[in-house]
Chains A and B, each alone.
Chain A
Amino acid sequence: MTGDELLAAEFVLGLLEGEELLAARARAQSDAAFAEEIAIWQDRLAPLADTIAPRTPRAELWPRIEAALASESEAAGSESAKIISLRKNLRRWQWAGGFSAAAAIVLAFLALPQLISPGLDTDEPLPAAVQQARLAATMPIEGTSLSLALTYLPEDDSLLVGAVGLAADGVHDHEIWFVPDSGGDLVSLGVVTPGRVVAHDVPERVARTLHEGSQLVLTREPLGGKPPDTAAGPVVAEARFTTI
């Protein structure tokens, strides 16, 4: 059995975790021969699922799904062109970041109110914070085609960190750092939560200096993030903000 055949079997069974899982997932999307090995193992093992006893879900579940479906299509259909183009952007990130569609929608709802309200009445002066640009960065994870999607929302000094395609390996955490232009000490922007989109608070002194081109790095740390009094772990990814 070749290494790839074995890896495909391990991937299909769900034995992998952490960086091995990330790497296999990335290859499944980018390497057709490997994807074919995966499909072969899925076909081989799928009949095992037939030994699982069927279980009828509660009758309330279908109406719940139908309602979720309806509100989703409504949201997609009745809003402005801005939303549609925002969704297109999100879909592009989703591709790059291994985002799930559900996360993209969460992000859309988080981002929308701020997107729509400014500019409706241009006579009214905008609050100072809104005049700062909204920034985004994509941080590729080495050895995979996955990325962290980072979006800075100046309205509330928060950084949305989308790590939906990533899985925790149970041994490490990853911490995001702001690199000051002046070359001073790095400032932590928090520990990544794998599998979710999370809003991180950005300290005000960092928020004031963020601009297009500001640099961020990602380090690998013990669980919980960098312990006090020790040096930060190895840098595993970096990115720069661009204005959106």
Chain B
Amino acid sequence: MRAASTEARERLKAAMLRLAAGERAALEDIYRATSAKLFGICYRILGDEKEAEDALQDVYLTLWRRADRFDPARASPISWLATFARNRAIDRLRSGKARRSAVPESEAAPIADASPLAEAMLIDAEREARVHGCLDTLDETPRDAIRTAFFEGRTYAELAESMGVPLGTMKSWIRRGLAKLKACMEAGE
């Protein structure tokens, strides 16, 4: 399992480098290996199938234009792509192209596994990352607020409104939570 995961990762990294060198066919390889993961992220944030499709198209077209931005020395390709997709989806949310319709938790929960095998292997290696354990050390309120910001792309103002607290209160909850999260993660870095 370990070896297969490493192999999938290396294959993806190689495809990213081919893309950066201008090889268009590499984009299809990257799409096959990553589209289910990235589509899951776009869908989670935008909450709408059609919007998520448009966002995903935007992700791969932008990737083609800016493949040289990926630095193989710095990041794992799948984490980099996940961050990239999340940022594009959030930009879309902010620019008003998309109006978020809330995804009921049941629908956002894992669905029948139709994803390629490579996907599962890429994901597994990161599952034990420290951030999960460190988030669990936070009090429930800041933890939920930070998770909602990450998974739904909510701003301070939106979080304060949905939880019915003043903006300043929400900011200080989250800021304290982030400081604690950082301390916990550094203890293990």
Known: A69-B24, A167-B95, A195-B96. A55 touches B57 (CB 8 A): no
**Quick check: A55 and B111 within 8 Å, CB to CB?**
yes
- Find B39's partner among A17, A50, A55, A170 (CB 8 Å cutoff): A55
- Find B96's partner among A53, A55, A62, A194 (CB 8 Å cutoff): A194
Name which residue of chain A comes closest to B156, CB basis. Answer: A15
Q: A residues within 8 Å of B by Cβ?
A: 1, 5-6, 9-10, 13-17, 21, 39, 42-58, 61-62, 64-66, 68-69, 72-73, 100-102, 164, 167-168, 170, 194-196
Told that A13-B150, A42-B79, A47-B132 touch, could you supply 5 new A-B pairs with CB distance under 8 A?
Answer: A15-B156, A52-B44, A54-B36, A58-B53, A62-B28
**Quick check: A1 and B123 within 8 Å, CB to CB?**
no
- A176 and B153 CA atoms in complex are apart in Å by 30
| B12 CB within 8 Å of chain A | no
**Quick check: B83 and A6 within 8 Å, CB to CB?**
no
Residues of B near A56 (CB, < 8 A) are 35-36, 39, 114-115
**Quick check: B64 and A16 within 8 Å, CB to CB?**
no
- Minimum Cβ distance to chain A for residue B75 (Å): 7
- Minimum Cβ distance to chain B for residue A41 (Å): 9
| B126 CB within 8 Å of chain A | yes
Looking at chain B, what size class is its interface with the partner chain? 35 or more
Known: A50-B127, A57-B53, A69-B64. A17 touches B40 (CB 8 A): no
- A100 and B66 CA atoms in complex are apart in Å by 11
- Minimum Cβ distance to chain B for residue A39 (Å): 7
- Minimum Cβ distance to chain A for residue B114 (Å): 5
User: A-facing mask of B163-189, CB < 8 A → 1, else 0?
Assistant: 000000000001100110110010000
Residues of A near B39 (CB, < 8 A) are 54-57
Q: B residues within 8 Å of A by Cβ?
A: 24, 27-28, 31, 35-37, 39-41, 43-44, 52-53, 56-58, 60-62, 64-66, 74-75, 79, 82-83, 86, 90-91, 94-97, 108-111, 113-115, 119, 123, 126-127, 129-132, 135, 146-147, 149-151, 153-157, 159, 174-175, 178-179, 181-182, 185
Known: A61-B57, A167-B95, A168-B96. A53 touches B40 (CB 8 A): yes
Residues of B near A6 (CB, < 8 A) are 175, 178-179
Residues of B near A64 (CB, < 8 A) are 57
**Quick check: B56 and A61 within 8 Å, CB to CB?**
yes
**Quick check: B96 and A43 within 8 Å, CB to CB?**
no
Known: A6-B179, A16-B156. A53 touches B149 (CB 8 A): no
